[in-house]
A and B are shown apart, each in its own frame.
Chain A
Amino acid sequence: GQNIDQPTEMTATEGAIVQINCTYQTSGFNGLFWYQQHAGEAPTFLSYNVLDGLEEKGRFSSFLSRSKGYSYLLLKELQMKDSASYLCAVRDLEGKLTFGTGTQLKVEL
């Protein structure tokens, strides 16, 4: 099975940089996904890592270390609209996703 841990809440200032961590223990690993979810809405896909290293996409970057079972999502130049829940999800060898509980990010002025 999969076990995924991420912080419950984080607060950051508009214009700053924030890093949201995710650690996982898995019996079979085939990729890690990050989703953004605003309250009451559907999760939207942000990034995907399957190999070690950093994937950059505009203001968002995601890092993976498979040996450490660790990933982080880096958000730069924070905007108020980035206030949302960020979900880490691990895919197993059958293609199924297991989601963490999400990190609620609050961006303040």
Chain B
Amino acid sequence: DGGITQSPKYLFRKEGQNVTLSCEQNLNHDAMYWYRQDPGQGLRLIYYSQIVNDFQKGDIAEGYSVSREKKESFPLTVTSAQKNPTAFYLCASSTGSSPQGLSPFTDTQYFGPGTRLTVL
């Protein structure tokens, strides 16, 4: 089955520790994204990657880091510099971020199941 997987579903960490959230996709998608979701707020873009070995900061990148060494994988590290890390983290992928919007089905973002991170 093709899809996007995130693990674990629930994650607990002590304050001051770095933690890495995994995101894997076997859809052969070029673009991958990380969002954060907090109660009463919309999804906010943390980082995105349009191609292997390249990534860009989103709207709230401070305190986070990513890597894109393989097309299938886009792990997110939540560092101790992130002041409010407790949130629901969602990974997404799409065939490509096309500025011309060729088709909704080539550029639609599909989401993984999410990881709920709680920092104690």
Q: List chain A positions with a Cβ less than 8 A from chain B.
A: 4, 30-31, 33, 40-45, 48, 50, 87, 89, 91, 93-102
B77 at the interface (CB under 8 A from A): no
| Interface SS, B side | loop
B108 at the interface (CB under 8 A from A): yes
Instruction: Place the interface of chain B in its size category.
Output: 20 to 34
B90 at the interface (CB under 8 A from A): yes
Q: List chain B positions with a Cβ less than 8 A from chain A.
A: 31, 35, 40-45, 48, 58, 88, 90, 97-101, 104, 107-114, 116
**Distance in angstroms between the alpha carbons of A20 and B34 in the assembled complex:** 26
Known: A100-B42, A101-B41, A101-B42. A45 touches B108 (CB 8 A): yes
Pair A87/B97 contact, Cβ less than 8 Å: no
| Interface SS, A side | loop
Pair A42/B113 contact, Cβ less than 8 Å: yes
- Partner of A99 from the list B42, B101, B108, B113 (CB cut-off 8 Å) is B42
Pair A50/B101 contact, Cβ less than 8 Å: yes
**Distance in angstroms between the alpha carbons of A97 and B44 in the assembled complex:** 9
Chain A residue contacts of B90, Cβ below 8 A: 42-43
Given A43-B111, A94-B97, output 18 extra A-B contacts at Cβ < 8 Å.
A30-B99, A30-B100, A30-B101, A31-B101, A31-B104, A33-B104, A33-B108, A40-B114, A40-B116, A48-B104, A48-B108, A87-B43, A95-B31, A95-B97, A95-B98, A96-B97, A98-B45, A100-B42
**Distance in angstroms between the alpha carbons of A100 and B37 in the assembled complex:** 11
**Distance in angstroms between the alpha carbons of A41 and B44 in the assembled complex:** 16
